[in-house]
Amino acid sequence: MNRIDYIFGELDRKKEKALIPYVCCGDPTVAFTEELVVKLAESGADLIELGVPYSDPVADGPTVQKASVRALAGKITLDKIFSLAARVRQKTQIPLLIMTYYNPVYVMGVDHFIEQGRAAGVDGLIIPDLPLEEAGPVQEALEKKGMNLIFLATPTSTSDRLKKIARLAQGFIYCVSVTGVTGARQDISDQLSLLVKRLRQETRIPLAAGFGISGPENARKAAALADGVIVGSALIDRMEQSLTQHPEDYHRAMKEGCSFVKTLKSELRRGEAVQLAGRF
Ligand SMILES: O=P(O)(O)OC[C@@H](O)[C@@H](O)c1c[nH]c2ccccc12
């Protein structure tokens, strides 16, 4: 069994929801990301999204864009990200997902990219701009290495599309909770609840909600609907603020990030959120 299925099985047994932080690799340095990922795992994160910074993003909101600019300024590369993943893998068994636009995969070559990921102990890929219709070869290549392709479903996906996603999905489905770009928001929209209901009619695979989760309150709401939550911008915002107030105090920024993740996870351990989900 791969690490993704294993962790969702464990969470189900413990009646907990998954917390999936997104980190932007190399923001502000590779060493920071490396230590951060290990500490997030110790702070209650269940899976980690390792974001590949990209200069021409499609769905990144301002926070993720700024993080990517910082990482690119620090000369982050795919090779550095694979070796970062490999070093993290020496220290923790947390499932690692590489989140990247398709272009870097295409340029490196699908097989080579996947082989590098496998060697580094990566468990799956999330490729938001890879259309379902063209995902077949990538998914097959991943499958051969025991890795998963995580699909995204959005509030605007048609029923036909949701059916296809449900049929092909592995690991979990990334439920985009809003129409728009990434970034912390005040509240969880009704769109998420509808999307989850629609997907639930098609599949029992775990559903993780992302886009706009900004704190304990709306993490709990999202977790009441889905099996897990993905948090990117809100985590990056906290560390960025800390670094603005205390320049170069990386240790402090990392601590802030970890205590945020601890707070979020404690909401996802609460029984009431779990009962509402009704996966089984
Ligand atoms: O930042 P948010 O609103 O918490 O959402 C997670 C998101 O940042 C992360 O999963 C992500 C970063 N870039 C993306 C591009 C497409 C889809 C998702 C993403």
Structural domain count, the chain: 1
Q: Which of 69-73, 145-149, 187-191 has the lowest mean pLDDT?
A: 187-191
Query: Residue 274's pLDDT is what?
Result: 53
CA distance 30 to 26: 4
Contact assessment for residue 233 and residue 61, using Cβ atoms and an 8 Å cutoff: yes
Residue 66 lies in a domain: yes
Tokens of 64: 């993720």
Per residue in 127-179, pLDDT tens?
999 999 999 999 999 999 999 999 999 999 999 999 999 999 999 999 999 87
Residue 171 lies in a domain: no
More confident residue, 213 or 185: 213
User: Active-site residue 129, yes or no?
Assistant: no
Query: Residue 73's pLDDT is what?
Result: 97
Residue 41 lies in a domain: yes
Q: Which domain holds residue 57?
A: 3-142+205-275
**Ligand 1 atom with the shortest distance to the CA of 235:** 4
Residue 166 lies in a domain: no
User: Active-site residue 16, yes or no?
Assistant: no
Q: Does the predicted TM-score (pTM) go above 0.90?
A: yes
Site to probe by mutation for ligand 1, drawn from 99, 186, 218, 261 as the one with most ligand atoms within 8 Å of Cβ, is 99
Dmax (CA) for the chain in angstroms is 50
Q: How far is the CA of 210 from the centre of ligand 1 (A)?
A: 7
Residue 186 lies in a domain: no
Mean pLDDT along residues 191-200 = 96
Per residue in 100-141, pLDDT tens?
999 999 999 999 999 999 999 999 999 999 999 999 999 999
Number of Cβ within a 10 Å radius of residue 234: 21
**Ligand 1 atom with the shortest distance to the CA of 234:** 4
Beta bridge partners of 24: 51
Query: Residue 279's pLDDT is what?
Result: 47
Query: Residue 18's pLDDT is what?
Result: 98
Q: Give the CATH number, domain containing residue 117.
A: 3.20.20.70
E strand or H helix that includes residue 97: strand 96-99
Strands, E assignment, the chain: 18-24, 48-51, 96-99, 124-126, 148-153, 173-176, 207-210, 228-231
